[in-house]
Structure 1
Amino acid sequence: MTTDVVVGVDSSTQSCTVELRALDSGALVSTARVSHPATTPPVSEQDPEAWWDAMVRAVREAVSGHDVHVVALSVGAQCHGLVASDASGVVLRPAKLWNDTTSAAQAQALLEARGLSWWTQQMGIAPSAALTIAKLAWLRDNEPDVFARVQHLAVPHDWLTFRLTGAHVTDRSDASGTGYYSAPTNRWRPDVLGDLVAAREWESTLPRVLGPDEAAGRLTSTAATALGIGDDVLVAAGGGDQHLAAQGIGLIEGDIAYSLGTSGVVFATNSQPVLDPSGAIDGVANVTGGYLPLVCTLNCTKVTDTMGRLLGVDHAALGELALAAPLDPDRPVLAAYLDGERSPRLPDARGMLAGLTTATTREQLALAAFEGVALGLVRGERQLTAHGVPTGGRTIAVGGGARARAYRQIIADLTGRSVVTVDAPEGTARGAAIQAAAVARGQTVAEVTAEWSPQVTSSIDPSHDRTDVWERYLHLTAVQEPAPHH
């Protein structure tokens, strides 16, 4: 018997992952993954056609051998990347990705032109090299001929949705990470683009922002033929990867998520915009009509990977060493800024280890790595709480680092709350499938998120109070902060 299914797409920096889920129950039918070309920051660029080719191959592989009827599809993708097209929709150059840092100087100039507090209050987010607007400023300064031909601006998920439907659209979540969309007021700010070149007419270059439960359109016959599915398929608004992952893991107001990957993110969902004048919190929009305030740290699992390499052990053994370390109050503490830091804004910082003695053990060094990462993320949670974001619900650990018991135990100990994992290994693709199902069923994304909320797969309770290192950690992180101007 043919099963009605929805397709959830996660087009990340590394690969395109596709999940097919049953429309009625959300049960996983099949999954497929196809790699993207590798990038090597500081210059990190990809040809958008490579994303399209990978998505086509992944969808074809996922539906192959299954008696399914695809009714809806949604695309989640890496945020911030700049896809610049001409009037006929032809991409003018490879897309600069979020982790391309060549636009750092342009980001700094944008920040200084209006000031940090203006950006955070007006836009909900402050310029960094990651943001789309900084990449557009880089294009103006370095490739003026290409810049002059730009007629359509898109981020990766917008462009893939355009290839699927022919519609130049986006959603609030991804728009709010561009630097020229105001999350607090839900509107584009072409005046900010006018700071780049005043004489340009920018409004026509911007995609239409869809509502959270609105469809972008239906597949074109060309796209349907390429994907090997029917052309009666609805395409949802799509969204940013973290934003759809929040739906995939079943995040509801009151919950807080710790995403433990190469970089770390702590995020929650909130009905009201969060405006942080310090710029530590990105007050971006979510995919259900509210907001997804988040704090991102640059250094997460790569810190423990590095410590494992220095100690000559794998990740599992490093975690065992860390959990075996005695909790001496004067144990070593690590400010884990190995590659500079984004939260706090210390791009030139380095990791600093304090409290070494002749009695320091390998166990203590392993513990310092895990605690240093966790302390930075807990600092982010405390910033969210200070801005009124409720965090009394579940604490959900996601990402590769969530597999390490040491990370989950230390976060539980530092927050005084149980830490759970859920059955959503591909959170973004799962969240995209939820959004596709909502459009197909005429429901809200929030309703389907609640209905398809994944099962808890593990729970770990606090076992020790680790906050004895909190003040030492803050003191160590302050050492590298620039002296105030007088």
Structure 2
Amino acid sequence: MKYVIGVDLGTSAVKLLLVNQAGDVVQEIAKPYPLIQDKTGYSEQDPKVWVDQTVAGLSDLMKDFDQDPKDIEGISFSGQMHGLVLLDEHDEVLRNAILWNDTRTTEQCQQIYDRVGESRLLDITKNPALEGFTLPKLLWVKEHEPNIYAKAHKFVLPKDYLRYKLTGKLQMEYSDAAGTLLLNVSEKSWSKEICYLLDIDVNLCPELIASHDEVGEVTLEIAEKTGLAQTTLVFAGGADNACGAIGSGILEDGKTLCSIGTSGVVLSYESSNDKDFAGKVHYFNHGAPNAYYTMGVTLAAGYSLSWFKEVLAKEESFEKLVAEVGGVPVGSNGLLFTPYLVGERTPHADAAIRASFIGMDGSHERKDFVRAVMEGITFSLNESIEIFRENGKVIDTIVSTGGGTKNEDWLQMQADIFDAKIVKLSSEQGPGMGAAMLAAYGCGWFDSLRKCADEFLHVDKEFLPNEENVSMYKQLFEMYKSVYHSTKQLSEGLLAFRK
């Protein structure tokens, strides 16, 4: 039996999957690491820790592997997007990586709009300037740490740095490059225009490669440390959302993913680069060859439910908390919730807006609030789906992953609010599986990623929309959308009273 390894470099841990040719996860290992948050809005990590924990995970995996190490034919990567890793002329790290969830760069985002122009930025990168992206971080270092910036020779993203340390080869692949605001997404090349307008040396940008490209083999040093064979082929990999799409089979038009984790993502496959969403949703290069994906984000999806639990049901399990929601009618007995606990991303890029319960009265019980939170999260995700549909996309089948699959009432709720068939996969490994599939495809096990998905991914259950519920939810959705505009000024006024 032959094997591949998928490495998912997340924000809190690196996760490794050993996958065989049938798509079975033979072994799974996770190694945690901390965030560095010295100031409000700052979020950093030491890239060395990523490497150390990945090597430790690979070593543990190989200790339990009782076959020939050469049977592990390939390894590939998924990784957290947007993080800035600055390297000097010797490819040594100059400072801690600034992560995707770091929000210090509001002024730099405005500088990008002032110098490039909002319309021109969307023409080139297909995305607005947001604090999470890489380019604002690069400009922040240039302004606030000029001595470090002067030593910078290249920048890469987190999983690209990890791959470099395993192979000695330094590149960035397209799906991650699309999240930098420096890539011309349609042309798949670095934008010399943006670099010129912002006085950035285009040579800081590394060589570009495709997600399934073979970049080399593991180095002798890594082979000796981990027990891997030095013949193990290494493939470029992709951004976490691109790999999550691959690992969920979002590999053809009409296929859409709804992933509910701490944040929530609605991601849809795009076969072309010529659609215009006016920056309302993200538009990135896919990890699949010559493909793209559009994506909307709810910042506090699963976080809204975990917040509710921590505040009002700290000692209970999630299973007990949501056990009664099936007995609560559509609309939670007249209670609406907007999940703006940390602001919102899609369709409102608004850091000041805050969450609301609307319609509370003395008859409401805790189970009404729980269902309202779950409905509110789903309404927020539906705003992304609405944008897709308004731009001509047909969305009739949605693969649901993450916390939203843990409760069948919530899966039915998604079917009714999204008015689409909801598919739950039998095995849910997301980005790590997507990375493993890129390695399997790169090793030549399959002619295409779609054939790999047919072999590796299987449907567990399907949920069809209930027409009566669909009708009621359409009315409620219109009410939900009005809450943002009705509470925006109130949220801004209350900022002065927050500690």
TM-score by length of 2: 0.90
CA apart distance, 1:447: 4.0
User: Quick one: distance in 2 between partners of 1:37 and 1:58?
Assistant: 16
Q: Which amino acid aligns with 1:132?
A: T
Stretch of structure 1 that moved more, 104-113 or 289-298: 104-113
Q: Which runs of 5+ in 2 are unaligned?
A: 491-499
Alignment of 1:123-272 (within 5 A): 123-196=125-198, 198=199, 201-202=201-202, 204-253=203-252, 254-272=254-272
Partner SS state of residue 443, structure 2: helix
Alpha-carbon deviations, 1:405-461, whole Å to 9, x = none?
343121111122232211343211111111111111175552443343411223333
Question: Residue in 2 aligned with 1:33?
Answer: 30
Question: Residue in 2 aligned with 1:476?
Answer: 483
CA apart distance, 1:252: 2.8
User: Quick one: distance in 1 between partners of 2:159 and 2:430?
Assistant: 16
Question: Residue in 1 aligned with 2:324?
Answer: 321
CA contact (8 A) 1:19 1:28 kept: yes
User: Quick one: distance in 1 between partners of 2:448 and 2:151?
Assistant: 37
CA 1:285–1:324 in structure 2 vs 1: closer, same or farther (change >3 Å)?
Answer: same
CA 1:212–1:81 in structure 2 vs 1: closer, same or farther (change >3 Å)?
Answer: closer
Q: CA RMSD in A?
A: 2.1
Give the counterpart of 2:386 among 352, 374, 382.
382
CA contact (8 A) 2:211 2:238 kept: no
User: Quick one: distance in 2 between partners of 1:448 and 1:217?
Assistant: 24
CA contact (8 A) 2:332 2:371 kept: no
Question: Residue in 2 aligned with 1:9?
Answer: 7
Q: Which runs of 5+ in 1 are unaligned?
A: none
User: Quick one: distance in 1 between partners of 2:285 and 2:190?
Assistant: 13
CA apart distance, 1:275: 4.7
Give the counterpart of 1:414 among 398, 404, 417.
417
User: Quick one: distance in 2 between partners of 1:19 and 1:424?
Assistant: 13
CA 1:122–1:159 in structure 2 vs 1: closer, same or farther (change >3 Å)?
Answer: same
Question: Residue in 1 aligned with 2:493?
Answer: none
Alignment of 1:418-457 (within 5 A): 418-441=421-444, 443-457=446-460
CA apart distance, 1:97: 0.7
Q: Which amino acid aligns with 2:459?
A: V
Q: Which amino acid aligns with 1:260?
A: I
Alpha-carbon deviations, 1:375-400, whole Å to 9, x = none?
010110111222233322x3111113
CA 1:286–1:328 in structure 2 vs 1: closer, same or farther (change >3 Å)?
Answer: closer
Give the counterpart of 1:74 among 56, 73, 76.
76
Partner SS state of residue 322, structure 2: helix
CA contact (8 A) 2:251 2:450 kept: no
Partner SS state of residue 302, structure 1: helix
Q: Which amino acid aligns with 2:18?
A: L
Alpha-carbon deviations, 1:268-298, whole Å to 9, x = none?
1110126545422100010112001100111
User: Quick one: distance in 2 between partners of 1:231 and 1:380?
Assistant: 45
User: Quick one: distance in 1 between partners of 2:293 and 2:261?
Assistant: 18
Identity %: 25
CA apart distance, 1:328: 5.5
Question: Residue in 1 aligned with 2:497?
Answer: none
Aligned residues: 476
Q: Which amino acid aligns with 1:468?
A: Q
Alignment of 1:64-143 (within 5 A): 64-66=63-65, 67-68=67-68, 69-143=71-145
CA contact (8 A) 1:117 1:277 kept: no
CA contact (8 A) 1:274 1:293 kept: no
Stretch of structure 1 that moved more, 363-372 or 124-133: 363-372
Q: Which amino acid aligns with 1:435?
A: L
CA 1:459–1:221 in structure 2 vs 1: closer, same or farther (change >3 Å)?
Answer: same
- 1:338 correspondence with 2:332: no
Partner SS state of residue 128, structure 1: coil
User: Quick one: distance in 1 between partners of 2:51 and 2:211?
Assistant: 24
User: Quick one: distance in 1 between partners of 2:394 and 2:186?
Assistant: 18
CA contact (8 A) 1:7 1:72 kept: yes
Q: Which amino acid aligns with 1:368?
A: A
Give the counterpart of 1:366 among 367, 370, 395.
370
TM-score by length of 1: 0.92
CA 1:462–1:192 in structure 2 vs 1: closer, same or farther (change >3 Å)?
Answer: same
